[in-house]
């Protein structure tokens, strides 16, 4: 069996992959020039900003990202590079947080946490989730994982994607239908990828079409939402928001979103659970196996 070289950003990952016959796994944190002129599989650090410039001048077979999203990646890759995202790694964790944020907003859990600090025992009736009409905007891996976890809550699901279709007994609406669908939903959970095609899809017109007091949950990318429009609608129409991602990000400490009533914010931690490491290891093992066998890798989303 031919040998391939695999760079990973941590000693922990290197140790987890060290038993694969035919794979020479070594640590490259991508904070300095490549130690080798040729690397068959490069795994950049997770959530690491822009280390991809270090690939310039290196012969690379595959760049294996550790995130699902890849907006802006193509512009930072040298020519002739194949890039795969980390589909199968973060969907479950991101869906968990989407449901948690939705329940937090609907059941006023954030209010109870604040009351605990001062020892206030205040019983209130909240909106709840059962019998609500919930739109999942983006019906890819994360969107389907969110829908699966919402099913036991007895909600009325409205699935929306770029094109209409019927899938596993669920009718998926097209984004072109949004103007007709939005007035009838109570909650919108946005799971779309970022990029020019989806930038500010949740804009003033989108928010205006929602009923007063509707909830917008964003676990996709911050740029999906026009932040200024969201702030205006929270203030004027009682639109609520539960956000794992924001624009700008990180959200400045003096930004009005922090203090608006009806807004819950998490600091982009959708995939940050202990499920990530074993899942990225499983994906890397499969990718190494594909390359060793001369097969096409999984999850290829960019070819520069």
- The pLDDT tens digits for 31-66 are 999 999 999 999 999 987 678 999 999 999 999 999
Q: What is the pLDDT of residues 210-243, one digit of tens each?
A: 999 999 999 999 999 999 999 999 999 999 999 9
Same domain, 230 and 101: yes
pTM for this one?
0.93
Same domain, 242 and 279: no
**Cα–Cα distance for residue pair 33/199, rounded to 1 Å:** 34
**Ranges 44-58, 184-198, 243-257: which has the least confidence:** 44-58
For 161, list phi and psi in degrees, rounded to 5.
Answer: -140, -175
Query: Within a domain: residue 73?
Result: no
Query: Within a domain: residue 136?
Result: yes
Average model confidence (pLDDT) across the chain: 96
Same domain, 46 and 170: no
Same domain, 102 and 55: no
Res 119 pLDDT > 80: yes
Same domain, 111 and 183: yes
Res 1 pLDDT > 60: no
Query: Within a domain: residue 72?
Result: no
Same domain, 295 and 259: no
The DSSP H or E segment spanning 248 is none
Range of the domain at 115: 90-265
The DSSP H or E segment spanning 236 is helix 227-237
More confident residue, 50 or 108: 108
Query: Within a domain: residue 82?
Result: no
Domain harbouring 195, CATH code: 3.40.50.720
More confident residue, 2 or 93: 93
Residue 237 annotated among the catalytic residues of the structure: no
Residue 279 annotated among the catalytic residues of the structure: no
Selecting among 132, 173, 233, 268, the annotated active-site residue is 268
Selecting among 221, 233, 240, 279, the annotated active-site residue is 221
What's the number of domains the chain is made of?
A: 2
Query: Within a domain: residue 203?
Result: yes
Query: Within a domain: residue 48?
Result: yes
Helix axes 109-118, 91-106, angle to 10 degrees: 70
Is the separation of the CB atoms in 73 and 53 below 8 Å? no
Same domain, 53 and 159: no
Selecting among 76, 249, 277, 285, the annotated active-site residue is 249
Task: Verify cis geometry, omega within 30 degrees of 0, for the bond prior to 174.
Answer: no
**Cα–Cα distance for residue pair 235/231, rounded to 1 Å:** 6
Query: Within a domain: residue 144?
Result: yes
Task: Verify cis geometry, omega within 30 degrees of 0, for the bond prior to 37.
Answer: no
Same domain, 296 and 239: no
pLDDT band at 8 (very low <50, low <70, confident <90, very high): very high
**For range 61-80, the mean pLDDT:** 92
Is the separation of the CB atoms in 67 and 47 below 8 Å? yes
Same domain, 296 and 148: no
Same domain, 240 and 98: yes
Residue 212 annotated among the catalytic residues of the structure: no
Res 2 pLDDT > 70: no
């Amino acid at each position: 069996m031919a040998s391939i070289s695999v760079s990973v950003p941590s000693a922990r990952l290197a140790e987890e992959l060290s038993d694969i016959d035919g794979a020479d796994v070594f640590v490259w944190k991508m904070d300095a020039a490549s130690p080798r002129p040729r690397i068959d599989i490069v795994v950049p650090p997770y959530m690491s900003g822009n280390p991809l410039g270090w690939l310039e001048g290196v012969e690379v077979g595959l760049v294996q990202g550790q995130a699902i999203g890849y907006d802006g990646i193509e512009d930072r890759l040298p020519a002739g590079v194949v890039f795969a995202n980390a589909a199968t790694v973060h969907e479950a964790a991101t869906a968990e947080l989407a449901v948690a944020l939705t329940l937090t907003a609907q059941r006023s859990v954030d209010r109870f946490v604040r009351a605990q600090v001062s020892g206030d025992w205040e019983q209130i009736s909240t909106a709840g989730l059962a019998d609500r009409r919930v739109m999942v905007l983006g019906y890819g891996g994360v969107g389907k994982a969110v829908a699966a976890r919402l099913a036991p809550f007895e909600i009325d699901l409205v699935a929306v994607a770029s094109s209409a279709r019927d899938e596993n007994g669920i009718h998926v609406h097209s984004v072109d239908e949004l103007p007709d669908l939005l007035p009838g939903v109570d909650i919108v959970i946005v799971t779309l990828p970022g990029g020019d095609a989806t930038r500010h899809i949740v804009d003033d017109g989108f928010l205006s079409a929602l009923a007063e007091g509707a909830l917008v949950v964003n676990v996709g990318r911050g740029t999906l939402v026009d932040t200024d429009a969201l702030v205006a609608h929270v203030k004027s129409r009682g639109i609520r928001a539960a956000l794992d991602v924001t624009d700008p990000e990180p959200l400045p400490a003096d930004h009005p979103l922090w203090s608006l009533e009806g807004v819950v914010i998490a600091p982009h931690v959708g995939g940050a659970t202990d499920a990530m490491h074993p899942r990225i290891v499983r994906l890397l093992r499969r990718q190494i196996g594909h390359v060793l066998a001369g097969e096409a890798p999984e999850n290829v989303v960019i070819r520069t």
